[in-house]
Amino acid sequence: MSRKRRKQHKQTTTKKQIPAGEPTPTWMGLKSIVTIVLLLFVVASVVYLVLSDSPVRGENSGENSEDMALVVATPSSEVTETVVAAPGSKATTPVVTEPSSGSLDQVEDAQHRVIVYYFHGTARCPTCRAIEEYTYEALVTGFPKELESGTLEWRPINVEESPNQHFINDYELVMRSVILADMVEDNQTRWKNLERIWELGNKDAFISYIQEETTTYLEGN
């Protein structure tokens, strides 16, 4: 082999040799791919965390929600309510309703009431039972609101029982009787014995009589 060919062969051999300790081209390509994959994994993880957290923030952000009330404790340990308006909405102010004149009238009416007593004995005859039945029916059909509110009270009482015997003297009872008692602040101001109950044999007339007398007492006449 000539000197010129030897020199060319030596140069070709020198170019193909790779110094020891340096990575080969194949290893460098794999390393780059692994690095890119790791970076993509990290980016994907961050995006996932951001997207998974966004619905919670949306719920608590107050967007398209009603006004929220914050309870704040004052130094005197009283609790007050502060209204915070959500974006795009108007804050509302608590409304305090003052008592109306009608409410005051109801309080005054509550201090005045009428008690309808029916005093009877232990032995009950048909007529005595009919008087109690008709009187109760007259009150229930004629004054349901008054009975419900307590303005009118129905009290059938056996005067022969020991705790009730004082009613005989209180209302001068000599027979079974229906008594109207006008009460103002738990004090009896007047009373009336409806003596005509023994005269009225007709049920409708009896009921009308009870209702008329009761109305008169309820109106304070």
The CATH number given to whatever domain includes residue 163 is: 3.40.30.10
Domains identified in the chain, total number: 1
- 110 found inside a domain: yes
| Cβ count within 10 A of residue 216 | 14
* CB distance 197 to 119 below 8 Å: no
Are 116 and 180 a contacting pair, CB within 8 Å?
yes
The answer to whether 197 and 118 are in contact (CB under 8 A) is: no
Q: Within a domain: residue 97?
A: no
d(CA 95, CA 71): 17
Q: Please state the pTM of the whole predicted model.
A: 0.51
% of the chain surpassing 70 pLDDT: 57
Are the C-beta atoms of 129 and 118 separated by less than 8 Å? no
- Lowest mean pLDDT of 12-21, 86-95, 206-215, name the range: 86-95
155 domain residue, yes or no: yes
- CA-nearest of 25, 21, 186, 193 to 111 is 186
Residue 168 pLDDT exceeds 50: yes
What are 175-210's pLDDT values in tens digits? 999 999 999 988 999 999 999 999 988 999 999 999
pLDDT (average), residues 49-77 = 41
Domain range for 190: 105-218
Please determine, for residue 13, whether its predicted confidence score (pLDDT) is greater than 90: no
In a domain, 129, yes or no: yes
Does residue 156 sit within a domain? yes
Determine, yes or no, domain membership for 188: yes
Looking at the domain assignment, is residue 197 inside a domain? yes
User: Collapsing DSSP states into helix, strand and coil, what is residue 113?
Assistant: strand
